[in-house]
Structure formats: structure tokens, C-alpha cells
A and B are shown apart, each in its own frame.
Chain A
Amino acid sequence: MRRAGPFLAAVFLALAGCGGGTLETASQTAALASWAASADMMAEAWLAGAAPRAYTMRALRGVGDAVSARRRQLDDRPAGVESDIAGVAGRLQSAVAELREAVAGADRGRAGALRERVRAERRALTAARGTGP
């Protein structure tokens, strides 16, 4: 029993590590989906004339920074489901950056199309949450 102690402790720690990783990925996915929903909402408000351009640009930059930070954390994890989600996060980051440019240029048509791209990535993240780790 004394010999089994360290082994059991190691197994426990390994399992806890795996569980922690799974939970961590689920939490990152949920946060990314939330940021995608936020970008969608910000674009919707700007397109409806309910939010000023200066606010929308700054807020979308904040979304981009937050997505980028989450993506980096996913990139640091071993390949697997995480890399799929990191891929979605990369596409989301790029869509948000382009959306911000469209808002800066007051290009409503392009902003509307980019909002649809953000929504598509959000759906992908929501699906990943449902079926994922």
C-alpha cells in the first residue's frame, strides 16, 4: 500500500489534469462564443444607428483582443479538439478585425456581410460546445 501510494497519487493527478484540460477547453469555447455574440450585438446596434461609431470601433477592438488572448491559450494546448476550436477562434478574430474596419469606413453593406460571418463562427462555437469535450 505504501508503494501504491505515489502511483495512485500520480494517476489521480494525471486524471485531474485531463479533467482540468477538458473543463478549460469548454470554458474557453463558451467564452469565445460569448465574445462572438457580443460582436454580433455591437454590429447590430451600429447598423441600426443605435450605437455610435467611436464606441463600436473601440468595443470591437476589445472583442478582437479578448478572442486573440483566448486563441493563444488554446494554441498552447496539445493538438486535438483544441486545435479545431483555435481554428474557429482564428477565423472569428479575422472577421471581427474586418468588421471593425468596415465600421471605421462606415461601410454598412460590408459590415452587414461580416456580421453574418461572425454569426457563422458563433454557431460553430456553439455547436462545439454542444458536442465538444
Chain B
Amino acid sequence: MSKAFQIALGIVTSIGGFLEAGSIATSAQAGARFGFRLLWAVALGTLCLIFLVEMSGRLAAVSGHTIAGAMRERFGSNFFLVPLATVALVSVLVLGAEIGGVCVALQLATGVAFQWWALPVMLLVWALLWRGSFGLIEEGVSLLGLVTVAFLVAAIRLHPPVAEVARGLLPRLPEHDGGRYWFLAVSILGASLTPYVFYFYSSGALEDEWSEDDLGLNRTVATLGMSFGGVLAGAVLVVAAVVFLPRGVQIESYDQVALLLVDAFGRAGFWLFVAALGIACLGAALEIALALAYMVAQGFGWNWGENLKPREAARFSTTYTLALVLATGLVVVGIDPLQLTNVSMVLSAATLPVATVPFLVLMNDPDYVGTHANGPVGNAVVMFVVVLACVLALVSLPLQLAGGG
């Protein structure tokens, strides 16, 4: 495979795999309630994600370790249990939100309640993981995910006021509903920075057998792929601001979000949204289940790999199976998928330091990254955003729970 093709494929899969239930729901809620004012949160989250993804690819390419494997080796098994338990808990919740997203898409398409779809969707995800290869998951589903480019096309077709959109990139204090504003800001950050993304990326780099020769590819894919992905999340916010805000619709359910693309595409808009939500959430569910199994298997030193037959990595396969069962249980009992998404995104933000600080230590350790250690800018940006997201989550979650709104 030529380098140029590899880069193009990497960027395309990053774009196709960027949007998921969290980024669609939080961006739509933010746009409907506060117009373009929370675009800065999308931009900040994307910037931080570019750094984190690039770092995780660099760690894998240089050291031959995944984040989880290196963390366990560097800090010991007992310490590793803390990030493992934290990331696993958040990942199961996010996995529940993604499975819920696929079920909601099917509910929108058929009118049959989302709970009824939980089991078939779980079986579909499980079968794809059980029978599929890493290439199928990484490229196949992400390529289908390019349908999410519809949000960008919609944003262009709706002609939003460019100056106002640009002003949204600058953080400003809210004029009303402060509690809700910060809750949505931290939800957006949590959606952008869910740890499974960079944990998955480092495992993927090893599945693809990256070496130091691939550092350029890694940097290009991380920067361009994540940037374009961030543009898509921003487009969801912009479309929601143009479509919902003037009508006074505040998003409290996926049934409302379903009409997001109707103004831009007419009859096709509803079905484009259904396809985008379903495919994006299906891709994310596959990646999260895999990321969780990678982390557990690497942490305990088990055989792992999506390219291995399930019997060759039995505990790895059992882990994603159990994760799917647990996450599906959240949907079956009828927890509202949008609320599950919001809570899991804020928890993701609140626990970011646990998942990222040990990773940053690794990225500054010459034993792992040799001469490719982090520069001061990368360290500073990631620390700033991670601490900001955590503090905002710890402050806004109780306020939101107390105030409802």
C-alpha cells in the first residue's frame, strides 16, 4: 500500500469515525440552546484530541507498547487497576450510549421502541467483532461513517452568519442559564476526549504494525483526520443553532434532534440523519467494545488482537462480550439514551485526569519514547484542557442534577 493511500485512508477513517452519539447529541443540544456560543468547546476538545491521538500513535510506533501495556509495565499492576477500573466504567456507560444511539436510529426508522432493538444491535456488534478483522472495523464501518459529512453540507447549505460562527470560537460567558451552559461545555469536552479514542488508536497502531517510519503518517492522520472530524462536530452545532434556536426548541430527546437535517435536505434529511446516527453509533460501539477488551487484555498480559481467531484470544473475546452485555442492559431497562449520553460524557470529562496523566508521564519517559518525547506545548495543552474539563465536570454536574434544566 502506498504511503499516500495509507494517509488518505487514515484521514478518511478518522473523519468517518469521529462523530458518535456523544458528539452529535451534545453539539445539537448546545446549538439549540446557545446558538454558536459553545463552538469554542468543540474546537478546544478537538485540539486536545489531536495531541492525545498523535501521542498515542507515537508511543505505539516508537516503543511497540500500547498505552495500557506501557502503563502497567511502568507503574505496576496495582496502580494500573485505578485507570483500568475508571476507564472501563466510563467506557461501559459510553458503550451503552452508543448502542442506545443505534437503537434510537432504528426506532426513528421503524417506529418500534428503542428497547426492542437493544438485543439485535448487541448481537450485530458482537458478530462483527467475533467474525470481523481489524481492517473491517477500522476501515469498513468508518468509510460508511462518511455519511456524517451530511452535517457539514447542511451547515453550508443553511448559510449561517459567518461572523457570528467565528465569534463562537472565542470563549464567552453565557448571558443566561449559566449552569446549563457549563454543563453542555463540559459534555462537549467529554464527548471529544472520551479515553477510548486514544487507547483504541494505540492498539490500532500495533494491529497495523506501525514503526518509527510511520511517525509522519501518524502525525498527518492525527492532525488532519481529527481536525476534519472536529469540523463535523462543529457543523452539527451550527446546523442546530440555525434550525432549532430560532424556533425555540430545546433538545431533550432524540425525537427532536431527528429533524436536524430536514431544513437543509427536505425529505432526504430525516433519512440522512437516521443513517448518520445509526452508522456513527455502530462504528463507535465497535471501537469502544474493542478498546475496552484491548485495555483489559493488555493490562493483564493476555493474548489480544482483533485479527486473531476468538479461540486464540479467548479472554480478550470474552471481555468485549461481557462489556456488550453490560452496556446493552442499560438500554434494555429503558434508560433514556440522551440522558445516558449526557451523563456518560460528563463522567468521561470528570475522570480524564486518571486516564491521561499517567499517559503523559509515559510520553515524557525516554525509556518508552526515546528521543520522541513530548514537547512543552503538547504537555501544556493536554494538561490545561484535561484539568479544565475535570473541574468543570465536578462543578457543573451537581448544579445540573440540582437544577434539572
List chain A positions with a Cβ less than 8 A from chain B.
Answer: 27, 30-31, 33-34, 37-38, 40-42, 45, 48-52, 54-55, 57-59, 62-63, 66, 122, 126
Contact = CB atoms under 8 A, between A and B. Distances in A.
A27 B403 CA distance: 10
Contacts of B248: 33-34, 37, 122, 126
Contacts of A50: 262, 266-267, 269-270
A54 B110 contact: yes
A55 B104 CA distance: 11
Contacts of A33: 248
Interface residues of B, number: 22
B33 to A, nearest CB: 9
B376 interface: no
A87 B32 CA distance: 27
Contacts of A63: 255
B258 A59 contact: yes
A29 to B, nearest CB: 12
A116 to B, nearest CB: 16
A54 B111 CA distance: 5
Contacts of A126: 248
User: What 5 A-B pairs are tightest by C-beta distance, nearest first?
Assistant: A54-B111, A59-B255, A34-B250, A37-B248, A37-B249
Given A41-B259, A45-B259, A31 B108 contact: no
A30 to B, nearest CB: 7
30 contacts: A27-B405, A30-B250, A31-B250, A33-B248, A34-B248, A34-B249, A34-B252, A37-B247, A38-B256, A41-B247, A41-B259, A42-B255, A45-B270, A48-B266, A48-B267, A49-B267, A50-B262, A50-B266, A51-B270, A52-B270, A55-B108, A55-B255, A55-B258, A58-B107, A58-B111, A58-B255, A59-B258, A62-B255, A63-B255, A66-B253
B247 A40 contact: yes
A81 to B, nearest CB: 19
A50 B264 CA distance: 11
Interface of B: 107-111, 247-250, 252-253, 255-256, 258-259, 262, 266-267, 269-270, 404-405
Contacts of A34: 248-250, 252
A52 B111 CA distance: 9
Contacts of B266: 48, 50
Contacts of A66: 252-253
Contacts of A37: 247-249
A111 B108 CA distance: 20
Contacts of B111: 52, 54-55, 57-58
Contacts of A58: 107, 111, 255
Nearest to B246: A37
A51 B262 contact: yes
A40 B405 CA distance: 22
A41 B258 CA distance: 11
A76 B112 CA distance: 34
A24 to B, nearest CB: 9
A73 to B, nearest CB: 10
B254 to A, nearest CB: 9
A54 B270 CA distance: 13
B32 to A, nearest CB: 9
Contacts of B259: 41-42, 45, 51
Given A27-B405, A45-B259, 20 more contacts: A30-B250, A31-B405, A34-B252, A38-B249, A38-B255, A45-B270, A48-B266, A49-B267, A50-B267, A51-B259, A51-B262, A52-B270, A54-B110, A54-B111, A55-B108, A55-B109, A62-B253, A66-B253, A122-B248, A126-B248
- Looking at A38, A40, A51, the one whose CB has the most chain B CB atoms below 10 A away is A38
Contacts of B108: 55
Nearest to A23: B403
